[in-house]
Amino acid sequence: MHQIKLIATPSSLELAQNVNQYLNKLFHSKNQNYIADTEFIRFNNGEGKCITKENLSGYDVYILCDPGNYGSHYDLVNTKHYMSPDEHIQDLKRAISALGGQAARINVVMPMLYQSRQDKRKTTESLDCAMMLKELEWYGVKNLITIDVHNASVENAIPFGMSFHNHTAIDKLLKEFASTRKWDKLFVVSPDIGASKRADYSAKALNATESGFFEKRRNYNILKDGQNPIEYHEFNGPESLSGYDILLVDDMIASGNSLLSSMKLLKKLGANKIYLMTTFSIFTNGLERFIDAKNQALFETLFTTNLSYIPPAYQEYDFIHIVDCSPEIANSIFNLNQTF
């Protein structure tokens, strides 16, 4: 068994610290620092480089990266510049390059997979997620650990050479929900057909009455504010939800349009309390609309994880219940290391 080292890219510093803490428990070590001494440098023109400051020869190295971390920034021509997903992926490549072939094995931990919503080609558009996976395979990455991939079939982009470990956070979220909330009658709903399996699984796990889903259709001929507008959104379920509490589940919140639309329609059907549950809460359009929805009593609590960046100011709102999934990442790293 090879010793473990973590490399924290600028996008994943907090997650790496949490994982380091749980690795100490799993290995029964005391105050062991598994995080390698690494420096990511940025020059004023935006160019960067990564330097590993310790010998990592023979180590089982895990590079952590959160490509959606829009809170990371650097000075670009004397102006604060917030990093894009593409820049985070470039830092990941720099970390691999800086190892210089020293490591016994290179692994990548990317809880929210880069460009994972772009899971299939439409006409002549690019396939960024598939290209990234092929690049990592070419760079010699042996394992990729990710969580709740939007469409797991993207794994087909890497038919050999790199193992793809797609774990789920839903069990941890459901356990937290069940231990902190009480209900008489619960109905589990997904905001679209794509998340219906998640809703069905959640309903069975919570012994809920049943599950339902919304049918949603977007206009892909129109791009407004970076997204395709919803043209059709209709509930596939009972005509009345009077007396039911609702658990509305999805894999991520980006703009939040689907969830906000779903909550309004569920309230019209007589739903009582509505709870939200997502693995990744990105809030690309900000938090204001969710604050308004909370003030209008459209929902009670959002259950989400710390696997993607949530601005510190957002975490102060009591309706956001963040579930720590660092132990699950540490467990995955530990188990992979045990078999190497």
Mean pLDDT of 303-313: 96
CB 169 within 8 A of CB 305: yes
Say whether both 47 and 125 belong to one domain: yes
Q: Is residue 137 domain-shared with residue 249, that is, in the same domain? A: no
151/178 same-domain check: no
Which CATH number characterizes residue 174's domain? Answer: 3.40.50.2020
**β-strands 60-64, 141-147 pairing:** unpaired
Q: Are residues 267 and 297 located together in one domain of the fold?
A: yes
Q: Which two tokens stand for residue 27?
A: 């290995």
**Where does the pLDDT of residue 34 fall: very low under 50, low under 70, confident under 90, or very high at 90 and above?**
very high
pLDDT value at residue 237 = 82
Does residue 64 sit in the same domain as residue 207?
no
Same domain, 277 and 330: no
* 133 has pLDDT over 70: yes
Residue (of 115, 134, 9) closest to 61 by Cα position: 9
Say what the pLDDT of residue 219 is: 62
Is pLDDT of 98 > 70? yes
Q: Identify whether residues 188 and 316 lie together within a single domain.
A: yes
pTM: 0.92
| 151 and 263 share one domain | no
Model pLDDT, residue 226: 58
Q: Which residues pair with 222 in a beta bridge?
A: none
Q: Are strands 245-253 and 301-305 parallel, antiparallel or unpaired?
A: unpaired
Tens-digit pLDDT profile for residues 187-197: 999 988 878 88
pLDDT tens-digit readout, 139-184: 999 999 999 998 888 888 888 889 999 999 999 999 999 999 988 8
Confidence class of residue 129 from pLDDT cuts 50, 70 and 90? very high
Three-state SS for the chain is CCCEEEEECCCCHHHHHHHHHHHHHHCCCCCCCCECCEEEEECCCCCEEEEECCCCCCCEEEEECCCCCCCCEEEECCEEEECCHHHHHHHHHHHHHHHCCCCCEEEEECCCCCCCCCCCCCCCCCCHHHHHHHHHHHCCEEEEEEECCCCHHHHHHCCCCCEEEEECCHHHHHHHHHHHCCCCCEEEEECCHHHHHHHHHHHHHCCCCEEEEEEEEECCCCCECCECCEEEEEEECCCCCCCCEEEEEEEEECCCHHHHHHHHHHHHCCCCCEEEEEEEECCCCCCHHHHHHHHCCCCCEEEEECCCCCCHHHHCCCCEEEECCHHHHHHHHHHHHHCC
8 closest CA partner among 74, 70, 91, 64: 64
Residue 326 backbone zone (phi > 0: left; psi -120 to 50: alpha; other: beta): alpha
Mean pLDDT across the chain, nearest whole number? Answer: 92
CA atoms lying within 13 Å on the CB side of residue 174: 18
pLDDT at 201 over 70: yes
Neighbours of 196 (CB within 10 A): 20
**Quick count: other Cβ atoms within 10 Å of Cβ 28?**
7
As given in the structure block, the two tokens for residue 203 are 């309903």
Q: What is the mean pLDDT of residues 100-110?
A: 95
Residues 6+ away with beta carbon under 8 Å from 20: 6, 33, 34, 35
- Is residue 136 pLDDT above 90, yes or no? yes
Cα(302)–Cα(263) distance, rounded to whole angstroms? 12
pLDDT score at 234: 78
CA gap 228, 151 in Å, rounded: 19
Q: Is the pLDDT at 28 greater than 70, yes or no?
A: yes
Enumerate the β-bridge partners of residue 252: 280
**What digits encode the pLDDT tens for the residues 228-270?**
666 666 788 888 999 999 999 999 999 888 899 899 999 999 9
Give every CB contact of residue 90 below 8 A, 6+ residues apart in sequence: 48
| Averaged pLDDT, 276-299 | 95
Which pLDDT score is estimated for 212? 87
* Whether residue 174 sits in one domain with residue 307: yes
pLDDT of res. 274: 97
So what's the pLDDT on residue 218? 65
Pair 156, 277 in one domain:
no
Model confidence band, residue 105 (pLDDT cutoffs 50, 70, 90): very high
**14 lies in the same domain as 125:** yes
- Above 70 in pLDDT, residue 225? no
Whether residue 152 sits in one domain with residue 9: yes
Range of the domain at 122: 4-168+326-338
Number of domains comprising the chain: 2
